[in-house]
Amino acid sequence: MPEGPEIRLAAEKVAAAVEGKAVQRVMFSQHRLRRFGPKLSGSVVSKIETKGKALLTHFDNGISIYSHNQLYGVWRIVAAGSLPKTKRRLRLALHADDRSALLYSASDISVWQTQDLDKHPFLAKLGPDILDPTVSYRCVATRLLDKPFLNRPLHSILMDQSFMAGVGNYLRSEILFQARLSPKLKPKQLNTTAVESLANAILDISRRSYESKGVTLPSRMRNEIQNQQSGRARNRFYVFGREGKSCYLCNSKIGRQEMGGRRLYWCVNCQGGQSGG
C-alpha cells in the first residue's frame, strides 16, 4: 500500500541509483510506450521527483516519465544486468552503468514533455504535498474550511488527492486517531481546536511515517509497547490493521468499517466523542 511516505522513500532509492547518470538503456514493457525506449536511452536522468503518490523521472532532453504505483507497484534497485527472480511483471527498466532501477507491476506509466506535465490529469488536480516542508498546518487548516471540503465527511476528504496529495488508506486511519475525530464528521462540524488538531495530525503523521519508514506511532510510545510485549511484535500503527485489539490509550476494542470502499480502523471510544458519529 504505497502512500506518499513510501513513494518518497522509493524515490530516494531510485535517485541514488540513477539520478545524475546517463541511463544506457530504457525499457518499457507496455506496447504503447516501447517507442520511447530508444528516444530516452543514453540520456541523463536530471531529477527524480515525487508528487503525492506519483513519481516523476526527468531526463535532460526535456522528456519525463510519469509513474504511479497504484496498490501493487514496486521499485527495485539491482546491480546492472541482474534481473531478480520474481513473478511480478517488469514494466519499466532504467539501466545505468552500475545499477538498474526497475518498476514492477504498476501499469499507470506515461511519457511526457516535461513542460507539459501540468496537463497530466492526475497531477493537474493534486493538492499540496503532505511531505512538502513549505506546507504549514495553517495552510492545511484553511484548506479544510474551503468550500469543496467543508461539507464532506473526513474519511472522504482525506482520500481525495485534490485535498492533500499523498494521504492514503493507512495514513487516513492514523491521522483521524491522532486528532481523536470520528471519520464521519465534516469540517463544518468542527470547532477551531479540532480543525487545528486535524491539520497538525495530517502533517505530523505523514512526516513521522516518512522519517521512520512507515511507522506512525511516536518512538517513545512504540518502545513502551514493545517493552510490554514478548517476542518481536512489530508495532507500527495506533489503529490501522488492529481490529479487535485493545486501544493503546483507553483499552477499548479497535473497530473496522468500510468507508469509501476502503477499510478504516478507529477507536469509537477515543474518536466518538463528537457529534456526527
Q: Which residues of this chain interact with Zn ion, rule CB under 5 A?
A: 247, 249-250, 252, 267, 269-270
Closest residue to Zn ion: CB criterion:
247
Q: Which of 2, 5, 183, 187 is catalytic?
A: 2
Minimum CB distance to Zn ion, residue 249 (Å): 5
Nearer to Zn ion, 125 or 245 (CB): 245
Tell me whether residue 61 or residue 252 sits nearer to Zn ion (CB atom): 252
- Answer yes or no: are the C-beta atoms of 59 and 94 closer than 8 Å: no
Q: What are the C-alpha distances in Å from 49 to residues 15, 94, 206? A: 9, 15, 17
Which amino acid is it at 27? M
The CB-of-134 to Zn ion minimum distance in angstroms stands at 34
Name which of 193 and 251 has its Cβ closer to Zn ion: 251
Report the DSSP beta bridge partners of residue 74.
Answer: 104
Q: Which of the residues 3, 6, 19, 174 is marked catalytic?
A: 3
Asked about 19 being catalytic, the answer comes back as no
Which lies closer to Zn ion via its Cβ, residue 16 or residue 250?
Answer: 250
The rounded distance, in Å, linking the Cα atoms of 143 and 161 is 13
Nearer to Zn ion among residue 103 and residue 247 (C-beta): 247
SS (H, E, C) 189-209: HCCHHHHHHHHHHHHHHHHHH
Q: Supply 110's cell numbers.
A: 506515461
Nearest approach, Cβ of 223 to Zn ion (angstroms)? 20
Amino acid at 213: K
For the record, the C-alpha cell of 198 comes out as 486535524
Are 120 and 66 a contacting pair, CB within 8 Å? yes
The question of whether 258 is a catalytic residue gets the answer no
d(CA 254, CA 252): 6
Residue 168 CB, nearest approach to Zn ion (Å): 23
| Catalytic residue status for 187 | no
Amino acid making up residue 71: L
Which of 259, 273, 244 is closest to 179 using CA atoms? Answer: 273
Pairing status of strand 90-96 against strand 23-28: antiparallel
Identify whether 262 is a catalytic site residue: yes
Task: Kindly state the smallest distance separating residue 158's Cβ from Zn ion, in Å.
Answer: 19
Kindly name the residue from 8, 19, 51, 53 that is annotated as catalytic: 53
Identify the active-site residue in 21, 25, 236, 262.
262
The candidate with the shortest Cα–Cα distance to 130, out of 138, 120, 140, 121, is 140
Catalytic residue positions?
Answer: 2-3, 53, 262
